Amino acid sequence: MTPWPIAEVVPHAGEMILLDGIEQVEGERIVCTRTVHSGGLFVDEDGSMPSWVGVELMAQAIAAWAGCRARAQQCPVQLGFLLGTRHYSCNVDSFPAGTRLRVEAVREFHDEQGMAVFLCHIEGPGIHAEARLNVFSPPDVNAFFEQESKE
């Protein structure tokens, strides 16, 4: 599968795109990158990024994987929802400024209604974070919102 520019495969814009790019995408797996820079969203005064932002980095990697699949099938990029995780572990309190992070997501489960589970990892110098993220991407997002607004 082609690793498109990140802005073309995630349903985010501007500063809300927290990943720098896609390193590899194949089958059920994607590897994205992020270098922590001073300034910007979710970055502390010392230039570091709190480790809890790792969950969003993982979620955006999943969104990028789904976006690459959509683009490969010549379909529009769809909105998805992070439902949560039961356990996120990280061996550091923050990701230091200048650190290059490698964010990997592998789809472990999915069903036809749009539910899925991804095993995710973040690696960097002396950094290891992991979680299983539960996500939902309805087959027809517009119909999903119309149904929700009627209830």
Work out the percent of the chain whose per-residue pLDDT is above 70: 92
What is the torsion angle, in degrees rounded to the nearest 10, for the CA atoms of residue 94, residue 58, residue 19 and residue 2? 150
CB-based contact 13:51 (threshold 8 Å): no
Evaluate whether residue 136 is within a structural domain: yes
Residue 120 pLDDT level (bands cut at 50, 70, 90): very high
CATH number at 70 reads 3.10.129.10
Residue 140 pLDDT level (bands cut at 50, 70, 90): confident
Q: Which domain holds residue 31?
A: 6-150
105 vs 80: CA distance, rounded Å? 15
- Compute the average pLDDT of residues 121-132: 98
Tokens in use for 45? 């005064």
What's the total number of domains in the chain?
1
Evaluate whether residue 144 is within a structural domain: yes
Q: What global pTM score does this model have?
A: 0.92
